[in-house]
Amino acid sequence: MIVKVKKLDERAILPTYGSPQAAGADLYALLEGESLTIAAGETVLIPTGLSVEIPEGYVGLIYARSGLATKKGLAPANKVGVVDADYRGEVKVALYNQSGKEQTILAGERIAQFVIAPYLTAEFTEADTLSDTVRGGGGFGSTGNK
């Protein structure tokens, strides 16, 4: 699959895969200076300097990088970012510092991973009744608890 990427800044780094079997391509921080400090409990919008043309029928999903999340406590504030196929603005990552102490991001550091995935669009229709299931209306944690 070809995904067109436009650099909005010459310093921007195109997404790269860390291994041949990697599902997510790394996104890189494009900062004004050499680094950016994120206070404990703070969310900062980090630019990538890129815009993308995702093919119709696909979506770009922005996930945490496991190393950044476990070592620095930095992960996307919205848990999973969604880049729709018709969006042409800059891809940015809202990083939340959940570590309890300030953390620093360096210019060009890998800050998130970008997964391209197919999706289905549903047609929602109002109904008076729904089919019965074993689970029924059991909510959070209701499966497996007998």
Q: Where are the domains of the chain?
A: 4-118
> What are the pLDDT digits (tens) for 17-76?
999 999 999 999 999 999 999 999 999 999 999 999 999 999 999 999 999 999 999 999
CATH of 4-118, one of 1.25.40.10, 2.70.40.10, 1.10.10.10, 3.90.1150.10: 2.70.40.10
Structure tokens of 42?
Answer: 């703070």
pTM value? 0.89
pLDDT (0 to 100) of residue 122:
96
pLDDT over 90 percentage in the chain: 90
CB 33, CB 108: distance < 8 Å = no
22-26, 34-38, 114-118, 129-133: least confident range: 129-133
Question: What does the pLDDT average to over 136-144?
Answer: 74
CB 94, CB 44: distance < 8 Å = yes
